[in-house]
């Protein structure tokens, strides 16, 4: 199963839509959004992909009441969790949070195969040693809006844990 990991769209609906459409073309079966969506209308941009979206708040929360209303419409395929999320996809435990320090701490627990975060707008991928003697994949897709660098997201193959960085024009 391939998934798209996206973060920090900051109301840039066109970039979010571009990323979602490219993810679909690259055979993504789900989108994880690591926060700072801001406006509920941004989430609607991915509707035509028919991909499930797993999203959290971030620190730029926007209108949370409306965000939940948009997420609760079945045609939008959105699961909106709040500050963080623990999900399971293709036998992988995945944790989604916005903040880097929180993400690193969760990766070190060894409870997750993959921990995804955003906030600082910088692309990052790392294998972190965890306290259970294994490795946890720690990922930041950068900002899909292109804040503080090029607009980016990542594709993750959950079977192989291979990552590919995607840049948007």
The reported pLDDT for the residue numbered 74 is: 81
Does pLDDT of 150 surpass 90?
Answer: yes
What percent of the chain lies above the pLDDT cut of 90?
Answer: 82
Does pLDDT of 117 surpass 90?
Answer: yes
Starting at the edge strand found earlier in the chain, the sheet holding 152-157 runs 78-80, 53-55, 28-33, 2-6, 152-157, 162-167
Does pLDDT of 68 surpass 90?
Answer: no
Contact 22, 14 (CB under 8 A): no
What CATH code is carried by the domain that includes residue 141? 3.60.21.10
Burial of 22 (0-12, 13-18, 19+ CB in 10 A): middle
Does pLDDT of 50 surpass 90?
Answer: yes
Does pLDDT of 104 surpass 90?
Answer: yes
The mean pLDDT of 75-89, rounded to a whole number, is 93
Long-range CB contacts for residues 18-24, cutoff 8 Å, separation at least 24: 18/168, 19/144, 19/151, 19/153, 19/166, 19/168, 20/45, 20/46, 20/49, 20/51, 21/48, 21/49, 22/166, 22/168, 23/49, 23/51, 23/153, 23/155, 23/166, 24/49, 24/51
Please name every residue paired with 153 in a beta bridge, in sequence order, or none if there are none.
166
Per-residue confidence at 86, pLDDT binned at 50, 70, 90? very high
Report if pTM > 0.85: yes
The reported pLDDT for the residue numbered 48 is: 87
Q: Which domain holds residue 19?
A: 2-167
Number of domains in the chain: 1
Per-residue confidence at 26, pLDDT binned at 50, 70, 90? very high
Q: What count of residues does the chain have?
A: 169
The reported pLDDT for the residue numbered 31 is: 98
The mean pLDDT of 50-78, rounded to a whole number, is 87
What rounded mean pLDDT belongs to the chain? 95
- Phi (first) and psi of residue 133, to 5 degrees: 85, 5
Does pLDDT of 76 surpass 90?
Answer: no
């Amino acid at each position: 199963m391939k998934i798209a990991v996206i973060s920090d769209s900051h109301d840039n609906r066109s970039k979010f839509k571009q990323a979602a459409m490219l993810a679909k073309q690259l055979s993504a079966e789900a989108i994880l959004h690591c926060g700072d969506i801001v406006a509920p209308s941004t989430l609607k941009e991915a509707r035509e992909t028919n991909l499930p979206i797993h999203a959290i708040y971030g620190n730029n929360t926007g209108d949370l009441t409306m965000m939940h209303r948009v997420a609760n419409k079945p045609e939008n395929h959105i699961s909106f969790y709040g500050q963080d999320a623990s999900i399971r996809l293709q036998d992988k435990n995945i944790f989604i949070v916005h903040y880097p320090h929180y993400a690193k701490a969760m990766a070190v627990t060894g409870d997750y195969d993959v921990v995804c975060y955003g906030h600082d707008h910088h692309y990052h991928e790392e294998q972190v040693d965890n306290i259970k003697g294994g490795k946890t994949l720690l990922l930041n897709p950068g900002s899909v809006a292109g804040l503080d660098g090029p607009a980016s997201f990542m594709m993750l193959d959950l079977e192989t844990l291979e990552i590919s960085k995607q840049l948007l024009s």
